[in-house]
C-alpha cells in the first residue's frame, strides 16, 4: 500500500507543494515520484518526479490504495464513453511500455449478493484509465478503494460526468452520452430518487416532458393524465 504525502519541491521558479501518493523513492537520485498529485495552486498534475524535495510529510490516507487484479474489476454499468480516439490509443501504447498507470482509478468493493457481474470491484471514477489497463494487458493496477454503496457511487459518477450549468464541460459527457446514461439509470432507480441529484434534474425533467408529449400525441394521455 502506498503512502499519501505532501512534498515541498525546490529548484523551480517558485517552490511548490504537491500532495498525492508516494509510490517510489529514488534514494540515489534524492527524488520521489508522487502519483495523482495536486499542486498547491489547485492544478492536478498527475504523476510528478520531485528532485531534492525540501520536505516530505506523511499525511493520513483518505482512501486506501491497493494493488488489484484487473480481471477482478468491472466498469460502472452507467459508463457510455467511446475510447477509440487516437489519443487514447497512444495512452494505451505508452502504458503497455511503462507497465503501470500514472494515476489511480477509484473503485468500490461490491458484495457478492449485490453484484450484476462476477467481479469483486466496480469502477467509480477513472474508466479511461481502467480501459487503458485492460487494453495494455496489465495484470494488476493500483486503485483507490472507496467505501461507497450503490447510490453513493451513482452520485459520484454523475458528479464526475455531468457538468453544472455554466461549469467547466471539459472531459464531461455530451448530450448523447447523458441520454444513454440516464436511460440506464432509470432502469435501476426511480425518477424521484434521481431528482435528488440536483445537476441531473433538468435532464430528467426534459426526458419526462418529452415522454409525456409523445404519449399525448399517441393518444395514451389526455391533459397529462392517464385515460
Q: Measured on CA atoms in the order 110, 114, 119, 120, is the torsion positive or negative?
A: positive
What is the SS3 assignment for the chain?
CCEEEEEEECCCCCCEEEEEEEEEEECCCCEEEEEEEEECCCCEEEEEEEECEEEEEECCCCCCEEEEEHHHEECCCCCCCCCCCHHHHHHHHHHHHHCCCCCCCEEEECCHHHCCCCCCEEEEECHHHHHHHHHCCCCEEEEEECCCCHHHHHHHHHHHHCCCCCCCCCCCCCHHHHHHHHHHHHHHCCHHHHCCCHHHHHHHHHHHHHHHHHHHHHCCEECCEEC
CATH class of 63-148: alpha beta
Per-residue pLDDT at 7 exceeds 60: no
pLDDT in tens, 35-81: 777 888 877 777 778 877 877 777 776 677 889 999 999 999 999 88
How is residue 14 written as a grid cell?
517558485
Per-residue pLDDT at 215 exceeds 90: no
pLDDT in tens, 163-190: 876 556 677 888 888 888 888 998 999 9
* Average pLDDT score over the chain: 79
| Whether CATH 3.20.20.70 fits 3-58 | no
Q: Where are the domains of the chain?
A: 3-58, 63-148, 163-227
Q: Model's pTM, two decimal places? A: 0.68
How is residue 40 written as a grid cell?
498547491
Q: Measured on CA atoms in the order 102, 107, 109, 113, is the torsion positive or negative?
A: negative
pLDDT for 192: 87
Contact 158/199 with Cβ under 8 angstroms? yes
Amino acid at each position: 500500500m502506498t503512502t499519501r504525502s505532501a512534498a515541498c519541491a525546490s529548484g523551480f521558479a517558485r517552490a511548490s507543494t504537491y500532495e498525492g501518493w508516494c509510490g517510489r523513492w529514488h534514494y540515489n537520485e534524492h527524488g520521489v515520484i508522487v502519483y495523482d498529485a495536486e499542486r498547491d495552486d489547485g492544478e492536478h498534475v498527475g504523476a510528478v518526479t520531485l528532485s531534492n524535495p525540501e520536505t516530505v510529510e506523511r499525511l493520513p490516507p483518505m482512501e486506501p490504495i491497493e494493488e488489484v487484479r484487473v480481471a477482478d474489476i468491472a466498469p460502472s454499468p452507467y459508463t457510455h464513453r467511446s475510447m477509440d480516439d487516437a489519443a487514447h490509443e497512444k495512452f494505451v501504447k505508452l502504458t503497455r511500455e511503462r507497465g503501470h498507470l500514472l494515476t489511480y482509478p477509484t473503485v468500490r468493493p461490491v458484495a457478492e449478493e449485490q453484484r450484476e457481474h462476477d467481479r469483486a470491484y466496480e469502477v467509480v471514477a477513472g474508466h479511461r484509465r481502467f480501459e487503458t489497463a485492460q487494453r495494455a494487458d496489465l495484470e494488476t493496477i493500483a486503485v483507490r478503494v472507496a467505501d461507497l454503496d450503490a447510490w453513493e457511487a451513482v452520485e459520484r459518477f454523475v458528479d464526475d460526468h455531468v457538468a453544472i450549468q455554466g461549469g467547466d464541460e471539459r472531459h464531461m459527457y455530451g448530450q448523447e452520452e447523458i441520454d444513454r446514461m440516464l436511460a440506464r439509470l432509470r432502469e435501476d432507480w426511480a425518477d424521484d430518487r434521481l431528482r435528488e441529484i440536483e445537476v441531473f434534474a433538468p435532464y430528467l425533467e426534459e426526458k419526462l416532458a418529452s415522454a409525456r408529449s409523445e404519449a399525448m400525441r399517441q393518444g395514451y394521455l389526455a391533459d397529462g393524465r392517464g385515460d
